[in-house]
Structure 1
């Protein structure tokens, strides 16, 4: 009796038949080979490498059959896979690179045409990708002859963070053609995040061993764990009252952990609080208008109080911005290349010291690494995402899609705020780095999801 296999690579299909005896030989040989390798070296590291190779091969086969499953693997890998290689490269980056390569290969080899959806955010994203390539090339120029540059591998790491984040937006918009995949990703994200937050409230520290620190200690997790469930709770009319109550509870617990347990970490609760405020204002417009003077007064008071309490911190931050921008003047259009400014700023005096430092601002980082052109493209992308998500929120009738559009619109406000605080959205190699890429990839998936919903809506309309 033969054993039949259906091999499929996107549109390529091939049926392979193996005799039962041949299949048994193959299994036996593989088992002996793996056992020999593991016993010969006798180390846990070798065993982990074997398991990683097996798991990677299995994941590759799954992706070749259905690339959209990659988003589930991406999220699970970001949260639970502790692997960290040279320079901090991790499962998130590796899975994403494989997904992008498979997607490009499908267009280049199988379909033999490069075709992308047409939507407002796509064009500035492509422009930004081109700017990133140009900035990487510019980074090979020694702009200050008495200074040293960042090592090439560090520059490539910084470039990869930018380039593949942008590629994620475009890929998501083109790959997800069924809203069920987006639903699966969103609900898995909310569910996994809720488990972590409830564990924090109940002081179950055992969960810290399973959730990667680079994922949980990133502002993007907290921002989007406020935006998406609250958007669904307020605007998804298809949900029952009990499900909405659960989502409300998740948001309340998240904000409790962020504000009460993590009060000193402003990147955790400030963007999330902005998100909550935007969604409440959109849902209860009259109350929002009436309370605007009080909210503004409270906001200004808290801001001034914060600046006064941390005057030294804000002062040094402003000094750092000034020096980084001063160093970037030698090439204002395309910047100094990825990670280079970290070494160049040591030539400048910051409060009596000549040291290397980072700007702690996404916007300053953008100018320093990719120039004014990079900053313009970034702001252009955010503007287009905001315009599209707002437009969809006013037109969509499907409960999930409508709640998602509102959630992304509010989440965008959180992203803008978080980017002001630290480089949470496009991590800087010497600060948040590839470790933070585990969670910084989230907004780019969600941005691409908005474009995907737009395309699904247009297809249904036509």
Structure 2
């Protein structure tokens, strides 16, 4: 049975153990004292104390608004990630907080508090819950573990005094990313909301493709990370799997896909992360739709690779070598050498950075590979748990696709599962799913969260299928009688 999010917030939160007169009186007294203090600091010209007094009030008002309109804020969340690239809050460091990260932290935090206060567990049930929760716990354990077993000769001065903050922020951004599928899966509870998400990515992806093709500089759209993967996954799935779509709409989807592939495969062929995940995502969509078509696609790609496309592949490989892509092998080898000494729970979030700065200061680069990032930060235990989560989430997607009848929900399940397969494969090329603090970093949250949003849509589809099943079973029972 699915509980509607709308009903969850029809009544305000109450604090049963606090008498209402005492609560109202306390608020009035605090307001009066705060007003007097603001007047005093304003007369003195002390801005910092004034801001310190104003911020809690603003935060409280924002929290009250979020509690009231939590469902609406979850609905518009993709817009903050896709089309508000400029919206950053400075932190005094090189890593400002993007509005999408701030909103995510607020929404997840408020959701957890409301569940605690109402004593109502609202996290959707999926086959990957256990693996993801265990991985999140390992991430938390790895932070104190990495500090406790840190090499005593590390040059921590090279990391600056803010390194503990960097580690904590990195952990928080990863944890909130992993909460997004549950938040989206719970609040995106109808087909029109799913369509809103898909429309946002299609419109945003089209504008991103056109601005890049026309070389238009802009600071609005977040055209980074795996946006292309999800753009082509949506269009290709609609074109191939959605029943009842008119031929001219299918032709439009094909044209937009062709325009995007021309941009990423022909013009920007050297950036593998820009097109390889998208091709894998298309392959995943075809596999879920028809095993026969998938076999034909693999055969055609193999013939192209040894035939007309062989020169193109050689060119891409040479470009990768010229840009230092093969140097990653040396970086990975060094990384594994450090991991061998900290193999259980790793070195913590961002934890291998000071090791690189100490032992390899001439080439202290990140691995540019999410799997190596995971094993370095969270150890062998973390990596094995992540593999467990990968298998469980893909199996969940396959089950959802097989359950769904032909139609919109099945198409969305194919989009999310095929795209998620491409996103997981992209981890070999960079930290596009779990951002490393000194590469994509917390600044990259608005585009690394894309894949987690679609995993959330997969949860939404699964819950909608659960909601409709009792109606179907009742109808069958009536027919039998």
**What is the match of residue 11 of structure 1?**
11
Partner of 2:76: 73
Q: 1:285-364 to 2 correspondence within 5 Å? A: 285-290=291-296, 292-296=298-302, 298-299=304-305, 301=310, 306-311=316-321, 313-348=324-359, 354-364=362-372
In 1, Cα distance between the equivalents of 2:432 and 2:209?
20
Partner of 1:343: helix, strand, or coil? helix
Tell me the residue number matched to 1:120. Answer: 127
1:153 equivalenced with 2:142 (yes/no): no
Structure 1 pair 407–317 and aligned structure 2 pair: CA distance change class (3 A): same
Aligned to 2:414: 406
> How far is 1:309 from its partner?
4.9
| Contact kept? 1:125, 1:170, Cα under 8 Å | no
> Structure 1 residue 223 and structure 2 residue 235: aligned?
no
- 2:175 — aligned with what? 163
Distance 1:156 1:456, change over 3 A: same
Alignment check: 8 A CA contact 1:107 1:113 kept: yes
* Residue pairs, 1:374-393, within 5 angstroms: 374-393=382-401
Q: Tell me, in whole angstroms, the C-alpha distance in 2 between the residues paired with 1:363 and 1:384.
A: 17
2:249 corresponds to = 243
Question: In structure 2, how many angstroms separate the alpha carbons of the residues matched to 1:332 and 1:257?
Answer: 41
Q: Over residues 61-107 of structure 1, what are the superposed CA-to-partner deviations in whole Å (9 max), with x where a residue is unaligned?
A: 55322323223432222221422422322101100001001111111
Partner of 1:394: 402
Check the 8 A contact 2:269/2:316 in 1, yes or no. no
Q: Deviations over 1:135-158 (max 9, x none)?
A: 122132252111134511110121
Closer/same/farther in 2, CA of residues 59 and 185 from structure 1, 3 Å limit: farther
Q: CA deviation at 1:426?
A: 0.8
Kindly report which structure 2 residues correspond to 1:174-253, keeping only aligned pairs within 5 A, or say none: 174-205=186-217, 208-211=218-221, 215-218=222-225, 220-253=226-259
After superposition, the CA RMSD in angstroms is 3.4
The secondary structure found in structure 1 opposite 2:275 is: helix
Q: TM-score, normalised by structure 1?
A: 0.81
Per-residue CA deviations over 1:88-131 (Å, capped at 9, x if unaligned) read 2210110000100111111111x224353321011111111111
1:133 aligned residue: 140
**Cα distance in structure 2, aligned partners of 1:10 and 1:379:** 40
- 1:13 Cα offset (Å): 7.5
User: Once the two structures are superposed, what CA deviation does each residue of 1:208-262 show, in whole Å capped at 9, x if it has no partner?
Assistant: 1322xxx3122x2111111122212211114333333333333222222222332
Deviations 1:315-357 (A, max 9, x none): 32011011112112222121101112111023445xxx64422
Structure 2: segments with no counterpart, 5+ residues: 1-7, 15-37, 471-481
Q: 2 CA distance for matches of 1:381 and 1:126?
A: 9
Q: Name the TM-score, length of structure 2 as normaliser.
A: 0.78
**What is the number of residues matched between the two proteins?**
420
Kindly state the Cα deviation for residue 366 of structure 1 after the two structures are TM-superposed: 0.3
Q: Per-residue deviation at 1:59?
A: 6.5
Question: Do 1:168 and 1:444's aligned partners in 2 also have CA atoms closer than 8 Å?
Answer: yes
